[in-house]
Structure 1
Amino acid sequence: MTTVTKPNFDNILHLIQELAINQKEDRLHLQETDRLLKEQSQATDRLIKEQYQATDRLLKEQSAATDRKIKEVSTQVGHLTNRLGEFVEEMVRPAVLKLFRKRGVQVNQVLRNLIAYDAQGEKLSEVDLLAINTDIAIVVECKTQLTIDHVNDHLDRLTQFKHNFAQYANQTIFGAIASIVLPDDVARYAYRQGLFVLAQSGDAVIIRNDDKFRPKHW
């Protein structure tokens, strides 16, 4: 027969003390776990922040390098475009007098790079070449590759020419465009707008307008 030992006060107190110790250990364990989790979370946050900052810094450096490269390329293209424009002007300028005289327009002077400014010194208009005599002025726009937009810009320039260049207000103004690369549709458009069309043909420059052409004057 099994004898059941009745718990006495000391046993109960011992159990309570053990329970208290276990609870305290559990609390300490939970606190340690919480501390470790917080440290891991803080470490993760720092890592994410550091990675973000490093990525942001790298992107800014790459963006700055790209901006510098674009600026360098734009500058180079601008210089090249200017040189090509000057080349077209130099190609056309010696031929202008002879070409228009063959068309019965007796110009005797060719001026280059005329710029008009307003009273505040702001540029109003610029003309590549101007072939003139005492009665006539032919405003020539030179382009490496001509587009319809270029033609429209030149038409606007011609409309404002006498206002911007008042010294030619009493002369009859004609317009001309000159280009190395001249698509046929652009040439036809310029022709229909009443402009002389000058283009490269081999080593020479020619006027592509036929004998039926009647130039517009301003």
Structure 2
Amino acid sequence: MNTQKQHNEPATFEKVWQMFQETDKKFQETDKKLNKLENLFTGQWGKLIESLIEGDLINILAQRGIRVFNTYTRATYSFNNEKGEIDIIAANGNEVVVVEVKTTLHPNDITEFMDVLKIFKKAFPLYKSEKVYGAVAYLKAESKANIRAERMGLFVIRATGNSATIANDENFKPKEF
């Protein structure tokens, strides 16, 4: 006994079009779910990397003669109609190290961060009379972005497993911003 129904109706343009629209709607729903999962993963991953860097930051800066007392994460600013966020600020009352954290560091990240450093003292007037240094921290660098960062006067901090280290040469002198 055959329990399958035979479809004897011919496929019309309208029916095929309706099936395409239903399929497209399902794809859009799936895309939304995947995007939500991706954002959740990358957001949590970014927070993990920030925590890894922040945990060692006071010690690794002290090794380079910058003795900071406090660290602050995800400091937001609004300046000249631009909004942004600083991943980590490390301060001691005389010096401030502004840290941009990336899982993968790209050359354009350096360019964007240099723009942030140019306005930092205006966006954060609390630090206007302090020496400001910049740092980039990362797990992996693409296209020699780490070398570019050092040439621009930034501390280069590499996350290495359960800690972080400054990758600059010991004689490196950071640029003051």
TM (norm. structure 2) is 0.86
Question: Is the alpha carbon distance of 1:52 and 1:144 closer, same or farther for their aligned partners in structure 2, counting shifts above 3 Å?
Answer: same
Counterpart AA for 2:20: L
Task: Report the counterpart of residue 141 of structure 1 in structure 2.
Answer: 100
TM (norm. structure 1) is 0.71
Q: Does 1:206 align with 2:165?
A: yes
Instruction: Please identify which structure carries the higher strand content.
Output: 2
Q: Deviations over 1:31-90 (max 9, x none)?
A: xxxxxxxxxxxxxxxx7xx72222221222122111111111111111111111110111
Q: The residue matched to 1:131 in structure 2 has which SS?
A: strand
Task: Report the counterpart of residue 27 of structure 1 in structure 2.
Answer: none
Counterpart AA for 2:87: D
Q: Give the unaligned 5+ runs of structure 2.
A: 1-9
Task: Report the counterpart of residue 91 of structure 1 in structure 2.
Answer: 52
Higher relative contact order (CA 8 A, sep 6+): 2
Instruction: Please identify which structure carries the higher helix content.
Output: 1
* RMSD between aligned residues: 2.0
Question: Is the alpha carbon distance of 1:202 and 1:184 closer, same or farther for their aligned partners in structure 2, counting shifts above 3 Å?
Answer: farther
Q: Deviations over 1:193-218 (max 9, x none)?
A: 11111112343210000023221121
Within 5 Å, give how 1:47-58 maps onto structure 2. 51-58=12-19
Instruction: Measure, in 2, the Cα distance between the counterparts of 1:109 and 1:62.
Output: 54
Task: Report the counterpart of residue 152 of structure 2 in structure 1.
Answer: 193
Aligned length: 168
Identity among equivalent pairs (%): 24
Within 5 Å, give how 1:58-207 maps onto structure 2. 58-117=19-78, 124-183=83-142, 185-207=144-166
Q: The residue matched to 1:200 in structure 2 has which SS?
A: strand
Q: Deviations over 1:112-159 (max 9, x none)?
A: 11011369xx76120111000111111111111111122222111111
Instruction: Measure, in 2, the Cα distance between the counterparts of 1:71 and 1:207.
Output: 39
Structure 1 stretches of at least 4 aligned residues deviating more than 4 Å after TM superposition? none
Report which stretch shifted further, 101-110 or 197-206: 197-206
Q: Give the unaligned 5+ runs of structure 1.
A: 1-46
Flag the structure with larger Rg: 1
Instruction: Measure, in 1, the Cα distance between the counterparts of 2:30 and 2:108.
Output: 29
Instruction: Measure, in 1, the Cα distance between the counterparts of 2:56 and 2:144.
Output: 24
Counterpart AA for 1:116: Y
Within 5 Å, give how 1:11-50 maps onto structure 2. none
Instruction: Measure, in 1, the Cα distance between the counterparts of 2:39 and 2:69.
Output: 33
